[in-house]
Every structure is written in structure tokens, then in C-alpha cells.
Chain A
Amino acid sequence: MFLINCPFCGEREQSEFKAGGEAHIVRPKQPTELSDDEWAEYLFMRKNIKGIQFERWNHVHGCRKWFNMVRDTSNDQIKAVYKMGEKPPVK
């Protein structure tokens, strides 16, 4: 079970958090101008990487804040956590 360093609260048990899928997917500003394929790309397509993955997490049983995490899915090492809107601190 992970120990997650919430950027607002500090280290907490994983059971306080909820994973929210891939990070840095921006909702299109003008959805009506997108083709079906372009909209489907935003709506359905997500990466499933073995290795470094950028994810959204929510401290749902804590401060309720969403934040981003860089995690190596091959060994579950959390490389970094950072606030929404910030650039990832690692590549």
C-alpha cells in the first residue's frame, strides 16, 4: 500500500486517496468543433504504460484536492507529486 505525499497535507495512507487516471489531458475548449474521431481521442483513449506514468490522484478522504503524481508502474515507485496546473518536475 502506497504512502502518498499529498502536496497539501503531507504523507498519508493510500486508502485516503482515489486514483483518477492519466494526467495532463486537457478538456477541449471548443468541443463542438471537433470531429467524432478527435472527440473520441479525448474521451476514451488513455495510455497504459509500463514505466513512468503521469497520473491524477484525489485526496478524497482528506483535503479533497486533486493533484498529479509521477509513478513508475513497473515497481510502484512514486517519483514525484505536484499540484494541478504545475509542470511535471521530472520527465
Chain B
Amino acid sequence: MLNNLRFKTSKFIDETYRVSFKFNNKTYFGFKGDTLASALLANGIHLVGRSFKYHRPRGIMTSGSEEPNAIIQLHNNSSRTEPNVRATEVEIYEGLVASSQNCWPSVNFDIGGINNLLSPILPAGFYYKTFMWPASFWEKYEYFIRKSAGLGKSPKVADPDIYEHKYIHCDVLVIGAGISGIMAAKMAAKNGFKTLLVDEKSYLGGSSIYDNSEFSKINNQITSSWLEKEINEISKLENLEIKTRTSVAAFHGYNFLLARENITDHLPINQRENKVRQRLLKIRAKKVITATGSIERPLIFDNNDRPGILLSSAIKKYIDLYGVACGENNILFTNNDTAYETAMSLIQRGIKINAIVDNREQIDSKISYEVEKNNIKIYKGYTVVDTYGYRRINKISIMKLSKDGQTVIGDKTNLNCDCLGVSGGWTPAVHLFTQSGGKLKFREEDQVFIPNVYPSDQISIGSCNGDFGLEEIIKNTLSSIKKFLDIDNSEYKTVETISGLNQSKRNIWLLPSNKSIGKTKSFVDYQNDATAKDIKLALREGFRSIEHVKRYTTTGMGTDQGKLGNMHALGIISETAGTKMGEHGTTTFRPPYTPLTFGTIVGRNVGEFFDIFRRTPVHDWHVANNAKFENVGQWKRAWYYPKDNENMHLAVQRESKAARDSAGILDASTLGKIDIQGTDASEFLNRVYTNAWSKLAVGKCRYGLMLNEDGMVYDDGVTTRLGENHYIMTTTTGGAANVLGKLEDYLQTEWPELDVYLSSVTDHYATISVCGPNSKKIVSKVIPDLDLSDEKFPHMSFKNAKIDNIKCRVMRISFTGEHSYEINIQANFGKSVWEKCMEAGKDFNITPYGTETMHLLRAEKGFIIVGQDTDATLTPIDLQMDWIVSKKKYDFIGKRSLYRSDTIREDRKQLVGLLTENPKEVLEEGAQIVADIKKSPIEMLGHVTSSYYSPNLKKSIALGVVKGGKNMLGQKLIIPMENKNINVTVADPVFLDKEGERLNAKL
């Protein structure tokens, strides 16, 4: 059969280079230059898949990215597998393995095909209507619906390929390298614009590049020859970059576009090693010229979806570009002249055309006369009413159309064929234009939507702008580009065109049938199996908005976004509803224009590059000492350090005990640090913290609480006065960037008169905290010159010091309630100072502890963690921290909100301690707190925010927020869990050493 279908003609096919590939486990051959679709057609294969809902046999329908049916799975069951790939876009290569989707056990015999017989009971909205009740059954239905739905299979293992992102900035971006795109790119580049020309195909020239007909000529040359010279000329232009196999996916505002450049997909697998597979181009263009062409419309008639039914333009492309005949006995069905071009291409190669069915009564063009001269029967004023053949079309019935085109008259005539080409005219590809925010207008004469209002510096030219005739395209391209680029020289002296086509068209959205609509299957959306009947049903059921009809019938919701049938859906809606086409508008075209791989979207941001890891200067030591890590924001923080076979609980118990009994050491480098300088620094702190700062002496530290303007706690930390006009503020680890942002905001926008400068110095310093009864002895060994006596260096004070001649800042501050020191040193010395502390602490069993132990120790002391014990609904009063709110200060951020009617309510959630009846029982953080479990519904009083087993107190302790908790001290409450109720007593949130004896103990 190969010989009958393959014609030696095309310069796009290398017949000396045979390529073998597998389709549904069978080996076939094609040639280099073939797409999977053209190679399958050359092997006589039309049936390639099953439809989504009815599992009807479907064949290749188009020759491009608009393909709704021929979507296949590549390399099934391998790491490179890719579902829902359009066979019309895959260039074949040695080793290609493709298989049909949505069919079982095989595409030729598919059990799901029973849905086709059941279709009378599967109308639009079937699932919505049927599986609504009983509601509890949904989970059972869902399993079976999901199993039978879906097209391809997603990969199960990691993608081995490399992807990347690239930014491109250019003066002019031209999308589409058809005849108008090529002309536009040449004019732009030759006039000094840095130009980028992209096209989704592997070749330049669009559909004109294989237009060898005598009926369309430019400057008396065959169109393709003229265009080849143009392409040859522009490929030498320095100002012009050309990218083929590059599909624009999204056109955003301000001329920002995303495109996918396909680099290796057409190469044999063994030539792809270490190469980037696909590249996401992020293009910022000063000007955009859209020349995306147009998509041929199918025609909507009964059984218009059988394998062997293709767009007429696709048949022309397969024969002219690939040298492949789609059938040996063809019929063309059209409402316009373009099908006659297909006819001429077939005639030139001696391929049989059984008939042309044209729904126009009058046809008056040179090309149609030429076709008639070749003894081809043209049925004028006829329509196809039915087609036959299960796995491949074998016959059609035609009938005469009435004058108004609303009904059919006379007798049925049957015609045999193995391939039917359909042409319903052309739809401008305005998808990218509308994505960019452009507004369309409807042109009544030929029933097309065309660009009307441009939202940015852009223009549409060629057939995507509604120019379909060769003369129009060239004339309008020249004049609009000259104007758009504001240039005098068009680079073209005279361009004379000859075309044998005229633009007459008889547009009938839904062709009439001799059957009632209920008995027909006239597909509008092939991929989602939406028929004209479904659309009419939706309208009968009351849907009016095009967006609603779309969702109810799923028209246009496939992976092809309804590139073929959306216009017909609109047409049928307006005809049925008796409204005007232009009034409905179109459904929204959303990016991407064609599907993108996940690989392209994420680029290099995979694995360890998925998000930034911030590591402290001591990180390597933690790793070497078996630390488990916790993510805090982007930081990797040491969580705990298990010894031997310790689990987390055991490790934390040991670490906590050691810190209180002797000495612990914590890497606190992740705390946010903001350097604050300026003559108004004290005043600034007065305004941003709830407490007073003016009287803080140089060399002293103070804890501060920061609120939002709504009075809720935002951040906390210790700030140290380093000098008269110099402070260093610490923030929570996760809040650092936001705090700096907030402070800058107030400084720049509310208080520009203040002389204050802020700098983030978080990364500049390593912070090592040594705590416990032996901390003083350890620090004195590390910094022997520093006087650590309580008189000289009391709690909440700071000293400059030196370790091995390196300057450092030492603060005596504590987050554990123990006597403790924080050493801040230039980051690159952090690890060696840490090691020095470990060495000095050897005799004191110095124990490194992680964030979990830190949390436990501070919970024993009732210290809050902003973000864990608070959640932006708690004021300092709610936290029982009234002591830190200055009564004297006139104003600070959030002050006024602390006495709004809502914030002074007595029954607000307030922070309390919780002690379990059974001291061994540890509560779950997040658990609900209630008083009365018999009440229905149970009133939720609050929840547990922090909970630990304290090895120092030898009992379970917890913090929680409870409505009116402040006044509930000693009251019994209940924590209801899945299988038990836990009794708790409300307690003081400070569980250990309320008097601060440990902190101030003489050591």
C-alpha cells in the first residue's frame, strides 16, 4: 500500500533516509521529515485513537497544532513518556514509540465503545444529573468515573531530560513565519529593528511554502518559489534571529510572551544526551507582530468524525509537503474555494477524486472551472447528510439543500470514498491576540472574529487579521507594517499577485439533515465528544451565556481548547437563541496555546534548585554531627542531634536536660538581624515597639514586641543599643524580611522626617548561643579577656570582645531561662568559634541542641513563639503580656487598636498554660479545647498551640489559646480526641522558675 500512497515529490522529505518507528507495538517506516501523522497516513493508517466520552474510533483530522483527535502517548511506560501529544506535531525519529490512548484492550476493539451505543442516555451534563444522589454515593461513583475517564497516562518516574528558561529582549517579535510574517520580519530587520521571528513548525513559510499551484503567483512566480527566495534573503540578515519549532504559549500584558522552543524532540534518542530538551523563552518585545494565520473550519453534519474525514487543507498539506495521499478515492465537501486548491493538488498527482460536494449553488472562480475541466463531478448546492464505515469512512450520503439552507430536499445519493476532505472556510487564529487583552469584532460578511482594539504596542497581520486572499494579505501586510514600524522603505518595490480563488462562502453552522436532531451525532468538539444536539439541549435547559454552555457541554474544554469547533458552537447558539453572533463574544482563550510540558514550566528549578536553601555558617558541623534538619522559611535549621539509636523524643529529652543541668549550645544564626543607625534611631524604636526605648543605656539589651496597626502581634526579638545612635535588632527567623519591609515602609512613607537607616545584616553574622549553669565557665575559656562577672556583665547587657583578634559582640540574653550568652561573630568565623565552644565545653558535657529542644525550653518558661502561639488574631493583652505595653507612650504602631471595642472584649482567646490530669499524656498541637462535650454542637473554646513533655519538670506541659482563658486559672477543660477525652487544667503559662532564679543565679 505504501507505494500507492507515497508520492516522490517533496523537498521536505528525505527519501534516502528511512526511519523506523513503532505504533501500537507494530513497526512501521517513514522518512526523515515526516510527522507521525504523515508517516501513519502513508502506511494507510487513519484510526489512531478513541474519543473521550463515547470511545468512537477517531482518525487524524488535521496537520497541525489544532489537532483534536490524533493525540497519542509517546514512549509509554518509560521515564520519557508523554501523554496527549499531537501526532500531527511529532516529527518522527529512529526509535519513536507511540501508542493510542483512551482505549482498552486496543484501538481497533475498545470495550468503552459501548458508550457510543449508550449515547442516547449520555446527554450533556449526564454526570452532573446522574451522580448527584444519594450524595454519599459520590465516592463510589467517582472511582469508576475516574477509571474510565482521562486520556493519556502520566509518567510514574522522574523526567531524565534537562529543561531551561531564557530571557529574550527584542525590538520586534514576529509570531508566525507564513508569507506575511516573513515579509514583516524582513521589513523590521532591514530597518534596524532587532527582530525575533518564531514559528511552531520545523520549516519557514507556513502553508505558502508548499503552494505550487499555477493559481496563486507573486510577481509572476509560483508562490513557493517567490517565498523561498525571501526566506533565503532573511536568513542572512544580522538583525534577525529566527527560531523554528518554537510555539508561543502565552501573550501577556506589556508585550511579555512565553514561548516553548523544542530543541531535541525531533532527534533520535541517542543524539539527545546532555542536550537541553525544551527551552521556555521569556520574551519582552517592544513591538509584537502577530501573524499566526488561520485554522480551517470543519463542517458540522451527522457522523462527521469518522477516521478518514480530514480538513481539506490537511489533505493538501499531506500531499504537497509530505508526498502522502490520505486516500485513493477522495471526496471533498466544501462551502468555499479553498477545497479546489486541494483538488488541484490531487489532480496533479493523478489521485482519484470521486466528487466534490459544494453547498454553494453558484461557483465562479478560475480554479473551480479548472477542476471541472478535469471531469470531476461537482454537486452544487448539496450537503453531506450522513457517513458510513466504522474504522474508516467508506461511503457518504448527500442531499440537495433548500434555498435558505435550513432543510434538505429531494432524494439521498450515496457516494463511495475512503477519504473525505471538509472545508468550512477559515477562522483567524486570534488566540494570542485575545490572551494579550485584545478585543475582537465580528465581521458579518464572512462570519469571522477579527482583532479590533489592541491593548499594547502590537498588530495582527495576514489571515489572523481576517485577510484571506493572497492580494489582500500582501497589500495589507505592506501598508500596516510600514505604519506600525513608522518606516518609509517597505523593502518591496512592487508585488503583483495572481489568484484563481474568490472569497465567496456559504456559511451554515449546522448543516441540515433528513433526520431529527435527536438522532444525529454532529460533532462540534471532537475531543470532548460535544455534539450540536448537546448544545441545543443546553439552550433548552436554560443556559444562555457562552461560558455556561461551554462548561455544561464541555465544548472547547479539551487539550485543543476547541480550535476547530468553537466558532460552530457560537454559531449554533446564536442561531438557536435567535441572537447575533457578535453579541455573545467568544469564550476566553487561555494560555498555553498548545500544552506545555511540566519540564518546560519548571526549567532548571528542580531537585535542590526547586527553592533556595539558606545554610548557616555552622551548617557543615551540624551535618558532620548527625543533625536532623528542619525547614524554617528557606533556612535549614538543626532540629535535633540523635545519638546512637535515639528517636526524636529521646534526643530532645536528653538535650533539654543537659541544657538545664550543665550546658547547651544552639546555632541561632538564622535569627533576623537589622542594623539601625541614625540620630532618630531611639525615636524610631519607640514608634515600632510597644515598650519604651529612649532610656535604654548604651550596652544594654531589651526585648521588644512589634504589632501590626490592627494591634495584633507581628514579631518579637531582642534589640541591643550598640552606641548612642546605633542599634542592632533581632527578629524571628521567618519574619526577618517582612519586618525589614514593614520598617522601611513606615520610614519611607509615614515618617520620612526621621534620620534612620536600616540594613539587613542577617547573613553577616553567625550567632552562637551557649546556655546553662556552666555557660559562664565555657565562655570565659573561649574569651578569656572578657570580664563575665555579674556586676560588669549583667543579664540583658552587651560587650564588644575579641576571639583570636577577631571582633565579636557578646550579649547576655536568654531564650531558655538559663544563664546564657550569645556570641555574634563575622559569619566566616562562625564554625571555628562553634568548635572552640565545643572544645571549651567538653568537661561540662556541652550538648548541642536543635530547634525542637529550644522550643521545649522556652515553653517551660512560657515564652511565646510568634507564628506558633500567635496567629495574627492575638494582641499582647491576649497573650497576658500587658507588662510590655507602654502606658506612657503617646503612640506606637497598633496602639490605638488595643482599645477598639473588639480588642477589649473579655471573651477573646487568651494564652494560657495547660496541664494534663495524667502528667505522662502529651497533647497534640492544634487539638481543640472545649468545656462541655455534652452540648451539641460542642462549643470550641480554643486550641493547643505548643505541647511537650518536659524532662526538667517531669510532666507534660502545653500552651494554648482559650476564650476568656485569663480568668479560668485552675478550671478543668477537655481536649476531645478521636478515641478519648483528655482532661486538662488551666495553668499559669510560666511552668518553670517564674522568679528567674536560674537566670540570675550567681555562677
A34 contact set on B, CB distance < 8 A: 896
Q: Does B784 contact A (CB under 8 A)?
A: no
Contact of B748 with A84 in the complex, beta carbons under 8 Å: yes
Interface string of A37-55 (1 = CB under 8 A from B): 0011001000000000000
On chain B, the residues within 8 Å of A76 by CB distance are 253-254, 437
Q: Which of B744, B750, B896, B897 has the most CB of A within 10 A?
A: B896
The chain A residue with its CB closest to the CB of B760 is A64
Tell me which of A1, A27, A32, A40 contacts B253 (CB under 8 A).
A1
Q: Which of A1-51 contact B (CB under 8 A)?
A: 1-3, 13, 18, 20, 26-27, 30-32, 34, 36, 39-40, 43
A32 touches B896 (CB 8 A): yes
Q: B750's contact among A1, A27, A39, by CB below 8 Å, is which?
A: A27
Q: Verify if B900 is at the interface (C-beta below 8 Å from A).
A: yes
Bound: A39/B748 CA distance, A: 22
Write out the residue numbers on chain A whose beta carbons fall within 8 Å of the beta carbon of B896.
Answer: 31-32, 34, 39
B-side contacts of A65, CB under 8 Å: 748
Asked if A58 and B741 sit within 8 Å, CB to CB, the answer is yes
The answer to whether B745 has its CB under 8 Å from any CB of chain A is: yes
Nearest chain B CB to A91's CB is how many angstroms away? Answer: 22
Is A85 in contact with chain B by the CB < 8 A criterion? yes
Bound Cα distance A64, B745 (Å): 9
| Cross-chain contact B709 with A43 (CB below 8 angstroms) | yes
Chain B residue at minimum C-beta to C-beta distance from A44: B710
Q: How many A-B residue pairs have CB under 8 A?
A: 53
Q: Indicate the size class of the contact surface on chain B.
A: 20 to 34
Residue of B284, B710, B750, B895 near A32 (CB, 8 A) is B895
User: Do B895 and A39 have beta carbons less than 8 Å apart?
Assistant: no
CA distance A17 to B706 in the complex (A): 25
B703, CB-defined interface residue at 8 Å: no
Chain B residue with the shortest CB-CB distance to A28: B896
Picked from B252, B284, B749, B895, the residue with its CB within 8 Å of the CB of A31 is B895
Partner of B749, one of A3, A39, A66, A75: A66
Tell me if A36 and B900 are in contact (CB < 8 A): yes
Output the nearest chain B residue to A38 by Cβ-Cβ distance: B896
Interface string of A49-91 (1 = CB under 8 A from B): 0000000101010001110000000011000000011000000
Q: Which residues of B767-825 are within 8 A (CB) of A?
A: none
Smallest CB gap from B746: residue in A: A27
Contact indicator A75/B455 (Cβ below 8 Å)? yes
Note all chain B residues with C-beta closer than 8 A to A43.
709-710, 897
Contact partner of A66 (CB less than 8 A), chosen from B252, B254, B437, B748, is B748
B21 at the interface (CB under 8 A from A): no
A26 to B891, CA, bound (A): 15
Please indicate the chain B residues that have their CB under 8 angstroms from the CB of A18 in the complex: 741
- B896's nearest neighbour on chain A, judged by CB, is A31
For residue B256, CB closer than 8 A to chain A, the reply is: yes
Shortest Cβ gap from A22 to chain B (Å): 12
Residue ID in chain A nearest B437 by CB atoms: A75
Partner of A39, one of B437, B744, B897: B897
Contact among B752, B891, B900 with A84 in the assembled complex (CB-CB below 8 Å):
B752
CB neighbours of A26 from chain B (8 A): 750
Task: Render B869-908 as a binary contact track against A, CB cut-off 8 A, 1 for contact.
Answer: 0000000000000000000001100011100110000000
For the complex of A and B, list the 5 residue pairs with the smallest distance between their C-beta atoms, beginning with the closest.
Answer: A31-B896, A1-B256, A3-B254, A66-B748, A27-B750
A-B contact pairs, 27 of them (CB 8 A): A1-B253, A1-B254, A1-B256, A3-B284, A13-B284, A18-B741, A26-B750, A31-B891, A31-B895, A32-B890, A32-B891, A32-B895, A36-B900, A36-B901, A39-B897, A40-B900, A43-B710, A43-B897, A58-B745, A65-B748, A66-B745, A66-B748, A66-B749, A76-B253, A76-B437, A84-B748, A84-B752
Task: Other than A58-B744, A76-B437, give 6 A-B pairs with Cβ distance below 8 A.
Answer: A1-B253, A2-B254, A30-B891, A36-B900, A66-B749, A84-B749
